């Protein structure tokens, strides 16, 4: 195991807020809902809080997060931390992911915030699987 593989999850959790904000701003530019001008700022604050918690946990458990299974568990825990932070800031009865199925997607801020994180985590999952396959079976030089 090389030294960079211990810090691989830091990279993944670093691109998580970037992708989440990108997907949310894409939805934000397409929506016609009035009065949601402060939503990107609130999402940015939530992403900073989640990023600080995720990086702290990854630094504490970096020697144990080895292998694809444990990385998947850490991604799931990261998504739960994100949803719990949204729930604490949102003040609704349900978590944002569960609350997002009540309205159409075009007019649902909770769904956009929740699914933007889910889409970014799916992209990170794809990157993790590609990286795992490349490190297990490196191309033989010819």
Given a contact cutoff of 8 angstroms between Cβ atoms, the answer to whether 21 and 47 are in contact is yes
Domain ranges across the chain: 3-136
**What pLDDT is attached to residue 98?**
61
**What pLDDT is attached to residue 63?**
84
Given a contact cutoff of 8 angstroms between Cβ atoms, the answer to whether 113 and 40 are in contact is no
**What pLDDT is attached to residue 108?**
74
For every residue of the chain, DSSP letters joined together read --GGGGGHHHHHHHHHHHHHHHHHHHHHHH---SS-TTHHHHHHHHHHHHHHHHHHHHHHSTTT--SHHHHHHHHHHHHHHHHHHHHHHH--SS-HHHHTTSS-GGG-HHHHHHHHHHHHHHHHHHHHHHHHHHHHSPPPP-
**What pLDDT is attached to residue 105?**
62
**What pLDDT is attached to residue 119?**
92
CA 128/CA 8 separation, integer angstroms: 9
**What pLDDT is attached to residue 93?**
61
**What pLDDT is attached to residue 53?**
92
The pTM score is: 0.80
Taking the chain (142 residues) in consecutive chunks of 10 residues, what is each chunk's mean pLDDT? Answer: 69 90 87 77 90 91 85 90 84 62 68 86 92 75 56
């Amino acid at each position: 195991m090389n030294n960079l593989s211990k810090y691989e999850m830091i990279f993944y959790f670093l691109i998580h807020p970037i992708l989440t904000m990108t997907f949310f701003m894409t939805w934000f530019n397409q929506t016609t809902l009035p009065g949601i001008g402060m939503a990107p700022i609130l999402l940015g604050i939530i992403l900073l809080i989640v990023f600080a918690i995720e990086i702290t946990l990854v630094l504490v458990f970096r020697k144990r997060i080895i292998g694809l299974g444990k990385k998947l568990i850490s991604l799931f825990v990261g998504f739960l931390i994100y949803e719990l932070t949204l729930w604490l800031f949102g003040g609704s009865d349900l978590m944002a992911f569960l609350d997002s199925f009540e309205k159409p997607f075009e007019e649902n801020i909770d769904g956009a915030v929740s699914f933007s994180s889910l889409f970014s985590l799916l992209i990170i999952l794809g990157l993790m699987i590609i990286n795992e396959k490349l490190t297990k079976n490196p191309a033989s030089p010819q």
